[in-house]
Amino acid sequence: MPLDCLFCRIIAGEIPATIVYRDNELTAIRDINPAAPTHLLVLPNRHIDSISDAQARDQALLGALLLAGARLAQQAGLDGGYRLVINTGADAGQSVHHLHLHILGGRAMRWPPG
């Protein structure tokens, strides 16, 4: 685990966060600066820099990540719809370099995103 990785430190319990789901592979937390009424982040417990760094061996983990996103959105009552987002790299504004899935919902969203 990179010692300077914020999300690794949250997963390890070294930095506090509101954890809404946890299993052997994944941790889901509330985003500290929500961009929508519901804004959750699903993190693989094992550090991967970005989706671009995922390998074939991560296939099941990535499936679990998406399924957790859908399930948590349903549990949050986002019946009107929601968005699952993986920002990747500088142009997309990825600011934490530990792969994470955003779950955004609770308001209407525009397309294309900014």
Asked if residues 65 and 48 have their Cβ atoms less than 8 Å apart, the reply is no
Taking CB under 5 A as the criterion, the residue among 17, 42, 73, 98 binding Zn ion is 98
Given the structure tokens 């300077």, which residue do they identify? 4
Least separation, in Å, of the C-beta of 85 and Zn ion?
18
The 86-105 site mask, x for binding ligand 5GP (CB under 6 A), equals: -x-----xxxx---------
Pick one of ligand 5GP, Zn ion, none as the site partner of residue 98 (Cβ within 5 to 8 A by kind). Zn ion
Q: What are residue 102's phi and psi, to 5 degrees?
A: -80, 135
Taking CB under 5 A as the criterion, the residue among 47, 50, 76, 109 binding Zn ion is 47
If we measure between CA atoms, which residue out of 97, 63, 100, 60 comes closest to residue 84?
A: 100
